[in-house]
């Protein structure tokens, strides 16, 4: 199948109406990733079908759960899930944070090339990040246990905001160690087309927030 069609049909399973042009831009991200990967180690996933599934569709799978306009992706690496979400949701603003500067250079390059005005990058560690304005949601994929994620990023969300951790298996033990003042708001089991692995999105909120 044409890769743009794979993306459009895959995104439709999450309720996302991706245009041909958004599909083409998403694939252009992978072309740039392959190019930069020859000079620096940005991703170990080098086969195109796996890149489409694990980088693009896996990133897009959380889009239905993003509330609010100001979203932060902590430990974004080469821009996942932040870049695909910024392409799919041009009305939201994405701040992509990582402690490794070279990965952010790649994101800045892609944002400029694809004219993604809704992406900005910040080079810092999550726990020492002091944004001018806090976020409606803070998201992360593959950046350590949920309890640690909450400790590192709890200060970054507005009242009523959500911390969203993208996990493989249901992280039962990590959820038992949530710091005081935080609770589990929801867990969503995600089905990523073409991916034969478990995926869960864990939503955490402040203890006094209504669920």
Q: Footprint of ligand SAM on this chain (CB under 6 A)?
A: 74-77, 80, 97-100, 103, 125-127, 141-143, 152
Integer Cα distance of 141 and 52 in angstroms: 16
**157: three-class secondary structure by DSSP:** strand
Q: Which is nearer to ligand SAM, 61 or 76 (CB)?
A: 76
Q: Is 76 assigned a ligand-binding role in the annotation? A: no
84 vs 161 by CB, closer to ligand SAM:
84
Closest-approach residue to ligand SAM (CB): 77
CB of 173 to ligand SAM, least distance (A): 19
Annotated ligand binding at 203? The verdict is no
Which residue's CB is nearer to ligand SAM, number 144 or number 193? 144
Burial classification of residue 2, based on how many CB atoms lie within 10 Å of its CB (0-12 exposed, 13-18 middle, 19 or more buried): exposed
Per the structure block, which two tokens stand in for 124? Answer: 């810092």
Cβ–Cβ < 8 Å for 106, 81 = no
Beta carbons of 190 and 199 less than 8 angstroms apart: yes
**Does 31 show up as a binding residue in the annotation?**
no
How far apart are the C-alpha atoms of 125 and 143, rounded to whole Å?
A: 12
Consult the annotation and say whether 106 binds a ligand.
no
- Through-space distance between the first and last CA atoms of the chain, rounded to whole angstroms: 41
- Measured from the CB of residue 104, what is the shortest distance to ligand SAM in angstroms? 9
**For residue 77, which phi and psi values (nearest 5 degrees)?**
60, -125
Q: Which is nearer to ligand SAM, 14 or 152 (CB)?
A: 152
CB of 98 to ligand SAM, least distance (A): 5
Tokens found for residue 95: 């701040």
What is the nearest approach in angstroms of ligand SAM to the Cβ of residue 135?
A: 14
147 labeled binding residue: no
Question: What does the alpha-carbon distance between residue 17 and residue 11 come to, in Å, rounded to a whole number?
Answer: 7
Closer by beta carbon to ligand SAM, 36 or else 80: 80
Is 100 known as a binding-site position? Answer: yes
CB of 185 to ligand SAM, least distance (A): 21
CB atoms within 10 A of CB 68: 15
- Annotated binding residues for S-adenosyl-L-methionine: 75, 80, 98-100, 126-127, 141
- Annotated binding residues: 75, 80, 98-100, 126-127, 141
């Amino acid at each position: 199948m044409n890769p743009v069609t794979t993306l459009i049909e895959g995104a439709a399973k999450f309720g996302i109406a991706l245009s041909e042009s958004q599909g083409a831009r998403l694939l252009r991200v992978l072309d740039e990733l392959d190019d930069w990967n020859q000079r620096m180690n940005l991703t170990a996933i080098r086969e195109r079908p796996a890149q489409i599934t694990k980088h693009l569709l896996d990133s897009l799978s959380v889009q239905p759960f993003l509330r609010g306009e100001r979203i932060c992706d902590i430990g974004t690496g080469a821009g996942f899930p932040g870049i695909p979400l910024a392409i799919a949701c041009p009305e939201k603003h994405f701040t992509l944070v990582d402690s490794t500067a070279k990965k952010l250079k790649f994101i800045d390059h892609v944002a400029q090339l694809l004219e993604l005005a809704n992406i900005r990058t910040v080079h810092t560690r999550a726990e020492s990040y002091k944004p001018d304005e806090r976020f409606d949601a803070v998201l992360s994929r593959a950046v350590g246990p949920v309890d640690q994620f909450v400790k590192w990023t709890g200060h970054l969300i507005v009242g009523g905001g959500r911390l969203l951790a993208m996990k493989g298996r249901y992280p039962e033990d990590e959820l038992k160690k949530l710091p005081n003042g935080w609770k589990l708001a929801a867990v969503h089991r995600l089905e990523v087309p073409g991916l034969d692995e478990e995926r869960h999105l864990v939503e955490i909120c402040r203890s006094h927030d209504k669920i």
